[in-house]
Amino acid sequence: MQMSDLAATGYHGPPPWQWSDLATSWTAEPVVLTLSALLAVGYLLGVRRLARSGTRWQPTRTVSFLGGLLLWVWLTCSGVGVYERILFTDRAIQVILLLMLVPLLLALGAPVSLLVEASPPARRERILRALRSRPSKLLMFPAVSTALLMAPPWLLFFTPWYEKSLSSGAWNIGLHVSLVLLGLAYFWPRLQIDPVGHEYPHLVGLFIVFAEVIFDAGLGLVLIYGGNIVADHYYTVLARPWGPSLAQDQVWGGTCLWVLGDLVGLPFLVALVRRMIVEGREENAAVDAALDAQYEAAVAASAASSVPAAVPDEQSMRPWWLDDPNLRHRYGAGD
């Protein structure tokens, strides 16, 4: 269908959607572009400052953070952004990725840790003091941060917020930014890669992941089988003459919300488990170092003493868990 034919039907939007539009159709979202550019420059300057001081910054963190910014730009400026106000499915995919995947990648980049390490001592102390403040601890409390992740999709699709994001440019830009901020408010305290006001067991994050899966499924089911067309008035006036019907479009969008919400949760689950393993190894190394220091101190003290009986042998200083039949296999201990 030609554009002249589309205009004759009263429709004034982009032409029928094709897969190639994901790479060939573009629009400008100035706020996201500006924020992404500023954050990328600030992050790279921080990495450069650390390198000059002799501190090595993990390249994987840089790749993750910049990848999150690029994904943010792509979701708002590519074909996804072009058709975000035309197709419910397009908007649904954009919402779940802005809320969950973009913030996850940004949080894995540890931007706050970079800021702290690259700052002068006085500014570093102010940042850490702010993170230990009561508002920060409240925001990072598991129930609060989880609500900030789970509630927005329900509020978006079942309040006037959704239709306003379609009909108003300012509301649309606000959606692009607020979803990322809300996602960060969740992933930052759950991953605990960056400094937090209070550390919680990572098992809390695992339980929240399963709760999030249930909420995603519930939202998807309501959109698929609820029988109510979201923003029905807007889409009816839009008069899109191509593509799926309004009901079918919403079914596809609800399915994408359900499936993508669960799939995007997998990288977070992997990152959380990896974080638990790394911290476990660090704790084991710290215990081993403390025991070694204790042993060396005892040997040195007994060598300086005139009482031979005070000299401990290696067996007496042997960690107890190496002889425990339930734990020894984890440390490769022999009989």
Give the per-residue pLDDT at 196: 81
pTM: 0.78
Total domains, the chain = 1
Note whether residue 332 is domain-resident: no
Query: Does 182 fall in a domain?
Result: yes
Residue 290 lies in a domain: no
**Domain-embedded: residue 297:** no
Write out the DSSP string of 121-167.
Answer: HHHHHHHHHHHTSHHHHHHTSHHHHHHHHHHHHHHHHTSTHHHHHHH
Residues 6+ positions from 272 with CB-CB distance below 8 Å: 190, 191, 202, 205, 206, 209
The whole-angstrom separation of Cα 26 and Cα 23 is 8
Residue 88 in domain: yes
DSSP string of 70-111?
A: HHHHHHHHSHHHHTTTT-HHHHHHHHHIIIIIHHHHHHHT-H
**pLDDT by 10-residue block (mean), the chain, 335 residues:** 57 90 92 97 94 90 96 96 95 94 94 90 86 83 82 92 94 96 88 78 68 80 91 92 93 92 76 69 66 72 60 54 55 50
- Report if residue 301 sits inside a domain: no
Q: What's residue 247's pLDDT?
A: 94
Structural domain span for residue 76: 19-200+208-263
Q: Is residue 272 part of a domain?
A: no
| Res 265: pLDDT | 73
DSSP secondary structure string, 241-281?
-SSS-HHHHHHHHHHHHHHHHHHHHHHHHHHHHHHHHHHHH
The reported pLDDT for the residue numbered 332 is 53
